[in-house]
Amino acid sequence: MQFKEVLGNGELKERLLRMVDSGRTGHSIMLVERDGYGALPMALALIQYMICGNRRPGGDSCGVCPTCRKIAEMVHPDLHFAFPVNVSSKSGSSKKPLSSSFLQEWRQLYRDNPYFTETDLYTRLGMDGKAGVISVAEAREILDALSLKSYEGKGKYMIIWLPERMNAEAANRLLKIVEEPMPDTYFLFITHAPDRIISTIRSRSQIVRLYPARADELVPVLQARTGLSSGEAEVYARISGGSLGLALDMVGEGSAAAAWLQTAENMLEAAASGDLVRLLEGNEAVLSQGREQQKEFCLYMEALLRRMMLRRRGLDRISDTLPQEVPAVERFSPVFPDGFYEKAFKALEEARTMIESNVNAKMVFCHLANVLFATKNF
């Protein structure tokens, strides 16, 4: 991956080039992004530039030498990866799978879409709604990999994708090597939630923030990859907040809208008609899924209600309603009073927080149904 192939963040690329050319590359770099911004391709472009023997200072790696080709294919012997995993249909008999168990799927996912999201990864790994974890066993694997000499003598590179998914024991295992790294050893942490990483690791890393792609950068890529019209691509570019990964997910059949729109419509219909029994029955579609999908439903329901609220207030132009959502938004926006939305948003946020805290899902969604029913009908 060359810098010129990474979408957007032109100023950041220039800063990274200057950092390498001046010899000021830190041993630990933390790339902070929103899901789908492209921190992984940015990290690979940086590593490729650092070790390419034919790079153009201030320009880019050559992209054609053996080293560049191995980095681009994610098979360079001095390049290592760690990412959240869990028991899945593809992990075999292991009850404690490691990233190394899924390297083939990891590389293929990157080839298919370098801007993949956390949900994309878990789906590809067949984790059935389970949350990924970077365990203490994974931390031992990282230490073992970095204890070896560099195969090609140009440094060792460890990309840890979503270090916020490390448990406390794993983070503490890695702390010493991050504090006192071996020579020519580099950590690149890619995080969506830096505040959830232990402060001792965060404070010893150079913080590099990625910014959303501009619409004029994102729209042509979306059109090329999905066949959308310019107008449709602009809508998805806005809704995704400049994230190519999220935009592609929204367009695809695996999007939250595709997964949850019908369920959301059924629940709104039951609430609107005052049918509590039907509303509770509608929970079953959510309860049959894993916790990650249940949190996704809460987020999607919030987004759909927000679009309904904006339409009710005559702000259609900034609602960024997806084409498939238009009938539902037009149908339900006049039905629910203004006071409904604030209480519903609060209830959905509480539901998502409780799911993250492993509260019993039946209790969570029964409470949510009661709130939606009472808010509309009393």
Q: What is the pLDDT of residue 239?
A: 82
Residues 203 and 335 in one domain: no
Residues 242 and 260 in one domain: no
Q: What pTM does this model have?
A: 0.80
- CB-based contact 219:234 (threshold 8 Å): yes
- CB-based contact 205:179 (threshold 8 Å): no
* Cα separation, 69 vs 212, whole angstroms: 28
Instruction: CATH number of the domain at 340, please.
Output: 1.20.272
- CB-based contact 40:110 (threshold 8 Å): yes
Number of domains forming the structure of the chain: 3
Residues 201 and 158 in one domain: yes
181 phi/psi in degrees, rounded to 5: -70, 150
* Chain segment 287-321, per-residue pLDDT in tens: 888 887 888 888 889 989 999 999 998 887 777 78
Region of residue 271 (phi > 0: left; psi between -120 and 50: alpha; otherwise: beta): alpha
> Model confidence at 92, in pLDDT bands (50, 70, 90)?
low
Residues 17 and 143 in one domain: yes
Residues 268 and 236 in one domain: no
The arithmetic mean of pLDDT across residues 100-120, rounded, is 94
- CB-based contact 344:308 (threshold 8 Å): no
User: What three-state secondary structure class fits 5?
Assistant: helix
**Residue that the structure tokens 């294919």 belong to:** 73
Q: What is the pLDDT of residue 348?
A: 92
Name, in order, each residue with C-beta under 8 angstroms of 134's C-beta and a sequence gap of 6 or more: 82, 83, 84, 85, 160, 162, 163, 165, 166, 167, 170
What is the helix (H) or strand (E) element at residue 175, kind and residue range? helix 168-179
Q: What is the pLDDT of residue 191?
A: 96
* Cα separation, 344 vs 2, whole angstroms: 45
Residues 51 and 146 in one domain: yes
* Cα separation, 168 vs 171, whole angstroms: 5
Residues 236 and 351 in one domain: no
Q: What is the largest CA-CA distance in the chain?
A: 71
| Helix 215-226, helix 244-251: angle, nearest 10 | 40
At residue 376, does pLDDT exceed 80? no
Residue numbers of the domain that contains 238: 215-251
